[in-house]
Structure 1
Amino acid sequence: MEDFDVFTNEIEFTKPFYANVLNKYVKDIPSTPNGPNYQSDRKLYAEECLGESNEADCAFYLSESVSASLRTLAVYRDEQLRTTGDKIQKITNYVKPIQDLIESQPISNQISKNEEKILDFISSEAKQTADILRKFKTDDDLPFYMRYMRFSSENKTENFLKILKELPKEWTIIQLTAPYNPNENLKPLNEYRCEIDSIYLSMFTNDYLDFNSVGPLTVEIPANIIKEGEQPLFTELYSLLEENYKTIDNAQFLNNKRLVQNYWSKREDIDLRMKSVINVMDKEWLGGWTSLLTGKLQDETLRDKVIKLVDATISDWGFIKLTTKQKNLLYNLIDSCHSLPSQQIKSCIRRILTEHGNTSDIRKVIATIECQNCDKEFRFLKELCLKCLSKCFEAIHHFTLVDGIKAFSQAATQVKENDEWAALKKAKRYPVILIIDEMLDTFPWEMLSILNHQPVSRMENIHFTYLLYKIHEKDFIDGYFAAKSNVGRYIINPEKNLERMEKRMASFVQYWCSNWTGHIGEPPSPEDFLRYLSESDIFLYCGHGDGCRLAGCGGGAGVESVPVHGLALLSGCGSVRLARPPGRAPPAAAHHHLHVAASPMVVGMLWEVTDLEVDKVVSTLLSLYVPSKAQLPWQCIGKAAWSKGRLDTNVEQKTPFVPERDLLRAVSRSRAASSFTMIASSLVARGLPIRICDD
């Protein structure tokens, strides 16, 4: 500090010091910015970085552009809990920014005349300010994973890359982001949410990404594909979800045979429409780019074999100037080509070879080409026509684009058809964590054919992924949270208006989870509800919605006041759906509050569902995941009178029962318990990979 008397230990605050205080607040406010505006701003930064082929910065800004308001909620709740009953802690939170400035030297004694009056006003209370500050010690004891949650100078590319290296090496972390749309500021949500025409797919960690040579990679993929006579994909999805809600909501008024038949006809029609949406996503939207969504191979020799094959193709054909990004995209494509039709593979190869090459090399070539359709001052290679891209490829690699596509198509055919690659088709993979933009969260990504049988989970952003991992780090083994199943709690039909569901699920837990306790046919007190959450290894809620209202606070905020260390399974309609209030207010959901409370995993439903089908899925999930002393596997039990609460155990076990202690794999398998796509696709897991460790 400038004027500091070591003998009197008094601080004289100079005008440059106060100028620094003012400048800090001008530059740093708001410390918790408006979420939607912040997200839009980060997306624009990311687009600029992608145009400059700055992959690391692009991935960082995209990571900042999702679920920003949830970070504010987490910070706010953390400060509330830490300062409850501790006024000193609360005051130090306010004086910390000033304390930081006191510890730094003013750069200069010179200030502008325009600052004189306001600085004189502030400086007049310098002695009083110094006396107050000396009373408080403002040591910053927050761990890095909490500091990164805040909006500060610590949110930067270097720290983002550091976090990715700290997370378990078994994970594949993919983010799907909708581009910035200025109409978000002008139109209501129902309109602008259907205007997405592309998505950014960012590989934060991946089987073929070597952080010593290349960091995260991002590709832009066309979306909302429209065929003649069809609705845009987004419009169709929201339309069928609205129809699904109305159909289920009106089911209570069915009082004759004709209405019942009409109900089932509508349900079948909605189911077919959802199958069509998934089909369009899979084949016409993402296509070959679904190869970037696959998890890391547990058998590393298979990974090395894929790399060797692609590298041999590059060497044999003389691809002398393929970029590192192109190689990584090709590794992933060949790795998953056995799940893709040949046309998708060829289309993806073409785009990899032309739209992801070295921009500088292509600019040199394009400057010599006369084309009325292409702008020589392009930002992205996708803006160039195929003819120009083909000429650029030939000039750079000295053979035609057709030959280039042929080279890697032959490698893909070898993997698809040769017996020596058969192991790759059935190879086990580690978990995939999908970070999904709030604008894209409604889509059933887990139902894509390439992901349907893989362990897949969703997370809000990299900040919460890192936070939950660090909180539970001591309990992680080989990339999985080592969960327990000793303590189970349940709440079934608290509103007393789902009688048949109550009988079904009560009979299930009493048979399969006989040592669990809870409430059936009655609401628990808020104290009991919170106690169930905090003490259980597995918490089951069967009723309307997500059940968090039972905590006694609006919007589910009450659950944040207790630590949650186990799995929460919420089987009500839309229990993990993002609910959007009017305007540009950020969406909210039960899993947000549970993750703030440190729950490592929440499983629930994306939209409205019917109780019988959900009961089948949830009971199957728990029977696969939770160890039991029941005499027969749940799949063998006779269920003809299940809706009356009666189970038939006098049956013969015809097929062997294979349990699944990996929750994400159990979720994948349990979807098959319902014959309705709308029910199966509604089930999603939100959180970190967890697995019960058998004794």
Structure 2
Amino acid sequence: MFQETLYYAEQAHKLAKQVRSEVYLATSSNLLGSIWLRGGDFNKATNFLMEAKKCLPTIEKSKDLALLNYNFGKMYGLTGDIDAEIIAYNDALAILNNLTTMNHILSLEKFTDPVDEISKRVIKLCQPTKRTGRTKKTVMVSKISTRGKAATQAKSATDTSQSVAIECPNLLALQSHILREKSRVLLLQKRYVDASALLQQAEITITSTDIINHGFALAKHLLIQSLDQIVSDPVYSILQDSTISFPAVLMASRYDRNGDKLTVNLLSPTRKGINTRSTSVRLNTNNPSSDSFFEKLRRAQDHLKEPLANALIVSPIATVYVMSHLLNTIAILLSTAKPLKGQIVAHPGLSSFFVEMARNLALKREQSAIKSDPLTIYKLDKSCWPQLKPTDLRGSRLEFNDDNLTHFGREYIDIIPKSWTVISISLSENQHELSLTKLQACQSPFILRLPLGRNNSIDADEEVFGFEQGRAELREIVRLANESAHDAGNRIDRKSKLMWWEEREALDARMCALLTNIEKVWLGGFRGIFSQHVRRPDPLARFQKSFQNILDKHLPSRQKTKKRSSAPRVGLDSRILDLFVGLGDASDSECDFSEPLTDLLYFVVDVLQFHGELNAYAEVDFDMIVVETTDALRCYHEAIRASDFDDEPQHTILVLDKALHSFPWESLPCLDGLAVSRLPSLASLRERIICQQDDIRNDKSLAHYVDREKGSYILNPGGDLKHTLSTFEGKLQSLDGWKGITNREPLEEEFRDFLQSTDLFLYFGHGSGSQYIRAREIKKLLSCAVTVLMGCSSGALVETGEFEPYGPPMNYVHAGSHAIVATLWDVTDKDIDRFAQSTFEHWGLFSASTPCRSGLQDHQRSAGSAPKMSLVEAVARGRKACTLRYLNAAAVCVYGVPVYLHD
């Protein structure tokens, strides 16, 4: 809700200017600076904070000045100036320390109730004879004052704190918050003693928000200490740089939900004959003392669970996000430890639950705000101040127990159609790790934590390619692409046109290289999690047996010697095998699996080591294991090709963190040509699945259908897209039952009517059409057509730091559209016209024309002449019609679920 927050703060700032109040101008400027700081725009934040600073010198030391210093400290921290950050926090704390002293509080002017004053005067007038009593009363006050001074000197620090808390709770809350922020900075500098002392000072909690923030600070403190302690552990020192899967190994657990028979075959053999020497290190970590790193992680988890349950009710979404991501990190790290006796390993659903509920809450809150729009809900009485009805939040509190996890699985996971796979991608708070969660109906979540710099720990010469580097490269390519897309009209002569094409082709190559790096460096061998292969139990069982034999042959831990017997085998979760077979067909001459297989094999050895099967990496012949595993994979895929299976079309839905929407994930090499769409949360996916459960057609599969004769369009509303007009005018006019607007700007009422009264809406114009209809009007729709927005940056979201991103796709998601096809950045009209035409032909909306430039002539078909294809799959096919495969085609994405045409 960044735009709404900014709007009301700007209105306050304008009002402060109009009344010429230095105090209110400083307050509103400080607030605006804080909003822009949280929104990620440091330049605007600096301007407003400096404006507030100019207004404050004439004011005495106050809460506003303390808050200003705090905001400056946050800005310094975000820009990397740690020393200036600490100084600013110290200045803020010095002001608050002065304001919260009893001497300062007693020196303040006291305001009394006028009614009480009048009552006292009346009593005095009615009782004029009791002079002595009045004198005694004066003496009594003096005595009380004297006793008060003596008592104050003898009063304990606790009593004083309680008195201050009663007198100025807001100041103490701000003081505690700044102390926690300063503690966080010292913690990052590994000044653990000083950081702990500050947390103890900040323990005074006034409101539920204080309790939440303090619990988070304690958990963060324990996590950082634990990670620092892990570095010196002989077994777990590699944990931070290792990929972690959850679950990774098989164990008997009442939480197991995977009914695959292959899982049973992977159970560990008997544990007789354990070699004490090889597991002595593990025995220490299996029974951690109170000071061990795993015990710190468990305490950190406990500190977070209770506050997070309250944060879901009262805290900003940004706070819920960081807390849920921290809990997710802790849960994944704890999954590498063996359970203590009598304890059960945490369920992977708990880890995914933490992340998904924050996204679901963001959607729920924004929908509540849309429904509570004051312009449509409240009829304001100008004579009174508007008030919201109180809400009872006691029933909203969340408990982290088995019942809630079961409910989460039933409501969000088990309803997913069997041919769909949901991959949730989240970014850690420090932006150093990706967390990928695979969700399928009636299966427990499968989670991968991928450190983005794990290759650097293996190869020190490897160039760093982290999230910041990837995002910076993407933004630079998009900026240049947007500039060149609108510069084509200025290139008149042949030479300048050739230069323009060279520039575009160079950008296309850069985008291709970026996507290749994202797959190679960030995903590595774990790209198989995106594979849409259908599990085949028999071939997979044979591959599993071959892979076990390869490990038995090459791992030192499984070699028998005269001095020791082989270590007990650790059974891998069956979904780890899916990562191997998901890499693709090893018999393809163009595929080189050496690097991805090496990545996976290091991961497997890490898993074995964390669970008691120790191996020295230098003693493992990874090259030979890669060769033999490649042969096993080749046999697996040969068996798949030889079998005769008629699989249902598969679909993948990406649920993305707010910082990841700008990336064209669907165009990664491993997802090329696959049916892939995206959504912002599991809650938005659930809404669409529930809506389509009753829409089952002849093939008896769960899908959403739109009536091909109930559509609408807006074509060339600006009147300057001649190529687009000539390409689509005749085709659109020939569609039976359709209504549309051509060569003129639509009225907002017409635009809104098209969206809510038809099943399918096509827009061919500039941008997303937001110049013709306001975002608020789209969000308020009770139903919305499947929408195709063929304009520049029609699917781009504006990232706003801590706030949720906003843009056209989110408007249509809130309106309930099942699918929105749009572009992530600016594209050229001719290439996007080719894409649109090819997409509609594959989907079956248009009859097939002459073969497109995609090279897919064999796939061209007339409407209704082949099995139905979803819009998402048609988009994947249509991308290949573009001349610039990455610069233009990769810009297209689909927000939503598979949609089919119904005759």
TM over 0.5: yes
**Matched residue, 1:202:** 437
Corresponding position of 2:829:
611
Q: What's the offset of the Cα at 1:605?
A: 0.6
1:612/1:275 Cα in 2 relative to 1: closer, same or farther (>3 Å)? same
Match of 2:877 in 1: 669
Q: Is the 8 A contact 1:572 1:605 kept in 2?
A: yes
One-letter code aligned to 2:876: S
Q: Secondary structure at the match of 2:850?
A: helix
User: Which of 456, 471, 483 is matched with 1:234 structurally?
Assistant: 471
* 1:86-485 map, 5 Å: 94-97=390-393, 157-162=405-410, 163-181=412-430, 196-205=431-440, 211=443, 214-222=444-452, 232-295=469-532, 297=534, 303-313=536-546, 316=549, 321-325=569-573, 327-338=574-585, 341-357=592-608, 359-361=610-612, 388=616, 408-416=629-637, 418=638, 421-422=641-642, 429-475=649-695, 478-485=701-708
Tell me the CA shift for residue 41 of structure 1: 2.1
Cα displacement string for residues 124-169 of structure 1 (whole angstroms, at most 9, x for unaligned residues): xxxxxxxxxxxxxxxxxxxxxxx9xxx8559954433222112222
- The residue that corresponds to 1:597 in the other structure is 815
SS in 2 for 1:96: coil
| CA displacement 1:532-570 (0-9 Å, x = unmatched) | 00111110011111113422x3xx121122233531001
Equivalent residue, structure 2, for 1:624: 842
User: Is contact 1:59-1:204 (8 Å) kept?
Assistant: no
Aligned-partner residue type, residue 49 of structure 1: A
SS of 1:634 mapped into structure 2: coil
- In 2, distance between residues paired with 1:29 and 1:334? 42
Change (3 A) 1:497 1:63: same
Alignment RMSD:
3.9
Matched, 1:487 2:735: no
Equivalent pair of 2:360/2:682 in contact (CA under 8 Å): no
Cα distance in 2 for residues equivalent to 1:673 and 1:587: 31
1:617 Cα shift? 0.7
Residue 94 of structure 1: how far off its partner (Å)? 2.6
- Cα distance change on mapping 1:174 and 1:29 into 2, 3 Å: closer
Q: Any idea what the Cα deviations from partners look like across 1:440-459, whole Å, max 9, x if unmatched?
A: 22222212233212211111
Q: CA deviation at 1:74?
A: 1.8
Pick from 534, 542, 545 the counterpart of residue 764 of structure 2. 542
Cα 1:216–1:612 shift into 2, 3 Å: same
**Where does residue 501 of structure 1 map in the other structure?**
724
State the Cα deviation string for residues 25-52 of structure 1 (Å, max 9, x = none). 9874673642333222211111111000
**Partner of residue 526 from structure 1, selected from 738, 748, 751:** 748
SS in 2 for 1:635: coil
738, 761, 781: which one aligns with 1:562: 781
Distance 2:398 2:763 in 1: 38
Q: List gaps (5 residues or longer) in structure 1.
A: 1-21, 101-146, 182-195, 366-386, 395-399, 639-651
Distance 1:308 1:38, change over 3 A: same
Question: Where does 1:32-43 land on structure 2 (aligned, <5 Å)?
Answer: 33-43=315-325
1:593 and 1:159 map into 2 onto residues whose CA distance is 29
Query: What are the Cα deviations for residues 443-494 of structure 1, in whole angstroms up to 9, with x where unaligned?
Result: 2221223321221111111121112222332225524223332211001222
Q: What corresponds to 2:108 in structure 1?
A: none
Query: Normalising by the residue count of structure 2, what TM-score does the alignment of the two structures yield?
Result: 0.55
- Residues 534, 402 of structure 1: CA spacing in aligned structure 2 closer, same or farther, 3 A cutoff? same
Q: CA deviation at 1:404?
A: 6.1
Q: What do the CA deviations read for 1:71-129 (whole angstroms, capped 9, x no partner)? A: 42123224559994899xx999634347x6xxxxxxxxxxxxxxxxxxxxxxxxxxxxx
Shift of 1:613: 0.8
Distance in 1 (CA, whole Å) between partners of 2:689 and 2:576 is: 28
The structure with the largest alpha-carbon Rg is 2
Q: Name the aligned partner's letter for residue 429 of structure 2.
A: Y
Does the alignment pair 1:56 with 2:381? no
- Given that 1:63 and 1:461 are in contact with CA atoms closer than 8 Å, whether structure 2 keeps it comes out as yes
Structure 2 counterpart of 1:332, one-letter code: L
Moved more, 69-78 or 41-50: 69-78
- For these two proteins, the number of residue pairs brought into alignment is 546
Following TM superposition, by how much is the alpha carbon of 1:407 offset from its aligned partner in structure 2, in angstroms? 5.7
- SS at 1:666 equivalent: helix
3-state SS, counterpart of residue 313 of structure 2: coil
2:527–2:582 CA contact under 8 A, matched in 1: no
Q: Cα deviation per residue 1:572-621 (whole Å; 9 max; x = unaligned)?
A: 1111111124x543211212111111111111111110111111111221
- Check the 8 A contact 1:323/1:358 in 2, yes or no: no
Q: Which amino acid aligns with 1:337?
A: G
Distance 1:620 1:401, change over 3 A: closer
Relative to structure 1, the CA distance from residue 653 to residue 441 in structure 2 (aligned partners, 3 Å threshold; closer, same or farther) is closer
**CA shift in 2, pair 1:517/1:636, >3 Å:** farther
Retained in 1: the 8 A contact 2:419–2:648? Answer: no
Decide whether aligned partners of structure 1 residues 81 and 686 sit closer, same or farther in structure 2, where only a CA change above 3 A counts.
farther
1:577 aligned partner: 796
Counterpart of 2:895 in structure 1 is 686
- Mapped to 2, the partners of 1:23 and 1:228 lie a distance apart of 46
The DSSP-based 3-state class of the residue aligned with 2:487 is helix
Higher relative contact order, chain-length normalized (CA < 8 Å, sep 6+): 1
- CA separation of 1:38 and 1:97: change in aligned 2, threshold 3 A: closer
Matched-pair contact (CA < 8 Å) for 1:661–1:693:
no
Q: Which has the higher helix share?
A: 2
In the superposition, relative to structure 1, how do residues 255 and 675 fare at CA in structure 2: closer, same or farther (>3 Å)?
A: closer
Distance 1:307 1:516, change over 3 A: same
Letter matched to residue 218 of structure 1: L
CA distance in structure 2 between the aligned counterparts of 1:674 and 1:570, rounded to whole angstroms? 17
Write the distance in 1 (CA, Å) between the matches of 2:359 and 2:454.
20
Give 1:438's aligned amino acid.
K
SS in 1 for 2:888: helix
Separation in structure 1 between the aligned mates of residue 464 and residue 547 of structure 2, nearest angstrom: 42
Preserved contact between residue 842 and residue 859 of structure 2 (Cα < 8 Å): no
> Is residue 311–residue 319 contact of structure 2 (8 Å, CA) maintained in 1?
no
**Residues 713 and 740, structure 2, Cα contact 8 Å, conserved in 1:** yes
Deviation track 1:501-529 (CA, whole Å, cap 9, x = no partner) reads: 23333233224x35421111112211111
Unaligned runs of at least 5 residues, structure 2 = 1-206, 213-309, 336-345, 381-385, 457-461, 553-557, 559-567
Structure 2 CA distance for partners of 1:429 and 1:282, relative to 1, 3 Å: farther
Letter in 1 for 2:631: Q
**Which SS does the other structure have where 2:501 is aligned?**
helix
Q: Which moved more, 1:671-680 or 1:462-471?
A: 462-471
CA deviation profile, 1:264-317 (whole Å, cap 9, x unmatched): 2211111111121122233344232111012252xxxx6223432234336656
SS in 1 for 2:569: coil
Cα displacement string for residues 229-273 of structure 1 (whole angstroms, at most 9, x for unaligned residues):
999433322211111112123334334443323222211111111
Equivalent of 1:635, from 834, 837, 850?
850
Q: Secondary structure in 1 aligned to 2:803?
A: coil
